[in-house]
Amino acid sequence: MADLDKLRRAAGGQATEMVRRLGTLVAAESPPGAVRLLHDCADLLDTWGSEVLGRPARRIIRDGLPHLLWPAVDQRVLLLGHYDTVWPAGTVTDWPFTASGPIATGPGVCDMKGGIVQLLGALALLPDPSRVGLLLTCDEESGSPTSRQLIEQQAGRSAAVLVGEPSSEDGGLKVARKGGSVYRITVRGRAAHAGVEPHRGVNAAVELAHQVLAVRSLAADGTTVTPTVLHGGAMTNQVPESAEFSVDVRAWTRDELHRVDRMIRALPARLAGATLDVDGGVNRYPLPESVAVPLLEVAQRVGRRMGLPPLVGVRAPGASDANFTGSMGIPTLDGLGVVGGGSHARSEWADLSQMSDRTALLAAMMIDILDDHRLSALSTARDHAPTG
């Protein structure tokens, strides 16, 4: 085990540089699907990551989107993060990175550019990062459609996955996450003149209203089923012949995701002559707590030795790319990024005063995991973990 006091002091010595890097990274806007901006942000991260790892990144482009991978030949640990944010281009113009005392704000400062800065800082503390892989994707906020295969392939080469998403606001590490499904339900009716003969039409907007209420009724204790984006109609004087809406589903178990999936696909039309088309399905299975516990114990052990406040595991209703790796049965711990909150909102914040300690924690965890004895224990946990 490394000299943890020395490790913590070294991380503290990076504090000013980490804040500077965070400001630079927040200013490098990276909205979903904005190919040019994503490549510009990838250029910045490519430089930083290659410098700290001592090896070049592979830029893997899928549908024009650049994912950055630094694979290790003998990959024991995978550090996983994403650099896309939910914020549209130009957001930094009226909401730039701002540090006021220990609190920083700005688009993506918490989710999860602060976490990326900490991942890189932790790698810089390692005496030998040759067995650690780093993967930074750019489509997590869109559901990871082009990066999922890459994430799963790299996780399959690793004994453990450490994810740089933010912790809970009180510093809890994320040991379980809900799985999620996304649907688009299209209603088809029949157009008619809204004033002269509405009775000859089949109103897709009315059918949509019935279906929105029907979908909401599928929610259960711990399972949310939420209608989100709605569209319908073309003219104010025409009975709508088509309409559609999207549905977001979150659940703690795969059985619940499957239950809701079956019921959504079995929804009957309410109006004579209306039809329904259902697209979509399960996007991510839950992150099961069983795959996170071995790594939480590592974090708690090194955290105690470093003199950090007690670390606890929390269950998070939101999903992340940790869902993919955890549902494969690979030991996965999430929430190793910044202590912060307000993700996806103008209230987004990160606690700068805890960045160096969290960076030291992550580095100490990697050193501990890279010990062969620890890897053996983690591999046993992986063999007995659920796969979905």
Strand partners of residue 276: 187
- Per-residue pLDDT at 80: 98
List, for residues 248-284, the tens digit of each pLDDT value: 999 999 999 999 999 999 999 999 999 999 999 999 9
Beta pairing, strands 65-70 & 58-62? antiparallel
Pair of tokens at residue 103 = 């609190």
- For 36, phi then psi, to 5°, come to -65, -45
Laid out side by side, the sheet with 77-82 consists of 58-62, 65-70, 132-137, 77-82, 160-163, 332-333
Parts of the chain with a pLDDT under 70: 1-2, 372-388
**pLDDT over 90, % of the chain:** 94
388 CA to centre of own chain: 17
Q: Which domains does the chain have, with CATH numbers?
A: 4-178+286-383 (3.40.630.10), 179-284 (3.30.70.360)
List, for residues 320-340, the tens digit of each pLDDT value: 999 999 999 999 999 999 999
Query: CA 171, CA 155: separation in Å to the nearest integer?
Result: 25
- Per-residue pLDDT at 371: 83
- Per-residue pLDDT at 122: 98
- Per-residue pLDDT at 348: 98
356 CA to centre of own chain: 22
- Per-residue pLDDT at 378: 53
- Per-residue pLDDT at 367: 96
Coil, helix or strand at residue 90: coil
- Per-residue pLDDT at 384: 45
Strand partners of residue 218: none
| Spatial CB neighbours of 65, under 8 Å, sequence gap ≥ 6 | 33, 35, 38, 138, 139, 146, 147
120 CA to centre of own chain: 18
Task: Report whether 177 contacts 334 (CB < 8 A).
Answer: yes
Beta pairing, strands 173-177 & 103-105? unpaired
- End-to-end CA distance of the chain: give it in Å, rounded: 33
Q: What is the pTM of this model?
A: 0.89
